[in-house]
């Protein structure tokens, strides 16, 4: 006798399986993976809970389960992550967008609306899959006058970002492969706004991160001994990065905001503001360059 694997039976088996292998959201993971195999939504899984799966579908689901069992991040398995309500393609070449980074986008919009209602040139350093700059470009899609640039030293990341721009039909963004020092030495034209979510994890803490995070690119996470290496470069390069009156917005790790604010003040920035995320952590540091 062979039992038929239906949607409901399969989920009832897969969720505890993933849980026993360390997933923090086993039921959701199982549903998303099965929905991906069947090319349907999670809701449709429930509407068709008695749907039997054929051999190929079972094999495909099993392959995804095995990847998740290795603690591969869901976003890499699905190839996509939502950010700012937009679907972003992701691959192991890029950091997976985090919800807290939406605060950086929000603050950038606040500043652009207030200080550059007619247009501005905005750059994102370490753009990764392009989520920050593309979210901004999407927000100002209907408004001419704005120009956007995404820069990353990883050619593979820039390729992912370009693909996202194309998919989201956001041709107004230009892309460049360069590191921060090189880009600062050779700006295409003066930016009015610099945004960045640089790598900020202290090197010594990388090994202790969740297995999923350790599968993300080390160069997107490793901020050097104290996690602040990139903020030092940015602070030192401020005069090259921004004209007087330009704005800098940085995401920082938990507890780093005071040190980063001090660095920027020492570099000659004006008043430095800190914005908390939903957990109350100072997550975004904002300053105006007033030499």
Task: Give 200 or 289: the residue with its C-beta nearer to ligand GLN.
Answer: 200
Task: Give 61 or 76: the residue with its C-beta nearer to ligand GLN.
Answer: 76
Asked if residues 231 and 252 have their Cβ atoms less than 8 Å apart, the reply is yes
Q: How far is the CB of 92 from ligand GLN (least distance, A)?
A: 15
Q: How far is the CB of 140 from ligand GLN (least distance, A)?
A: 24
Residues 6+ apart with CB under 8 A from 101: 83, 131, 132, 197, 251
Q: How far is the CB of 18 from ligand GLN (least distance, A)?
A: 21
Asked if residues 201 and 221 have their Cβ atoms less than 8 Å apart, the reply is yes
d(CA 161, CA 17): 34
Task: Give 131 or 192: the residue with its C-beta nearer to ligand GLN.
Answer: 131
Cβ neighbourhood burial of 127 (10 Å; 0-12, 13-18, 19+): buried
Task: Give 128 or 246: the residue with its C-beta nearer to ligand GLN.
Answer: 128
Main-chain dihedrals φ then ψ at residue 175, nearest 5 degrees: -130, 150
* Contact set with ligand GLN (CB under 6 A): 95, 98, 197-201, 213, 221
Neighbours of 119 (CB within 10 A): 14
Closest CA to 285 of 122, 167, 108: 108
Q: How far is the CB of 227 from ligand GLN (least distance, A)?
A: 8
Q: How far is the CB of 246 from ligand GLN (least distance, A)?
A: 22
Task: Give 120 or 132: the residue with its C-beta nearer to ligand GLN.
Answer: 132
Q: How far is the CB of 117 from ligand GLN (least distance, A)?
A: 30
Element of type H or E holding 193: strand 193-196
Q: Which tokens in the block code for residue 111?
A: 């500043």
Task: Give 9 or 98: the residue with its C-beta nearer to ligand GLN.
Answer: 98
């Amino acid at each position: 006798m062979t039992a038929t694997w239906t949607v409901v039976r399969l989920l009832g088996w897969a969720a505890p399986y993933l849980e026993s292998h360390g997933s923090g959201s086993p039921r959701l993971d199982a549903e998303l993976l099965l929905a991906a195999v069947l090319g349907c939504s999670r809701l449709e899984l429930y509407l068709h809970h008695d749907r039997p799966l054929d051999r190929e579908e079972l094999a495909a689901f099993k392959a995804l389960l095995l990847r998740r069992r290795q603690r591969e991040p869901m976003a890499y398995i699905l190839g996509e992550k939502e950010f700012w309500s937009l679907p972003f393609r992701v691959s192991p070449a890029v950091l997976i967008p985090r919800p807290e980074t939406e605060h950086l986008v929000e603050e950038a919009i606040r500043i652009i609306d207030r200080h550059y209602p007619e247009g501005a040139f905005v750059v994102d350093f370490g753009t990764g899959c392009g989520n920050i700059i593309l979210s901004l470009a999407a927000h100002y899609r209907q408004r001419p006058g704005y120009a956007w640039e995404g820069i990353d030293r990883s050619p593979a990341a820039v390729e992912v970002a370009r693909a996202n721009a194309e998919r989201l039909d956001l041709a107004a963004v230009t892309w460049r492969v360069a590191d921060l020092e090189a880009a600062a030495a050779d700006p295409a034209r003066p930016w009015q706004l610099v945004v960045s979510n640089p790598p900020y994890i202290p090197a010594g803490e990388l090994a202790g991160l969740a297995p999923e995070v350790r599968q993300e690119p080390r160069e997107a996470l490793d901020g050097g001994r104290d996690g602040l290496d990139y903020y030092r470069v940015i602070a030192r390069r401020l005069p090259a990065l921004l004209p007087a009156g330009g704005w800098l917005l940085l995401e920082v790790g938990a507890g780093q905001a005071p040190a980063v604010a001090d660095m920027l003040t020492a570099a000659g920035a004006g008043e430095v503001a800190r914005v908390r995320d939903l957990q109350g952590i100072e997550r975004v540091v904002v300053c105006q360059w007033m030499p």
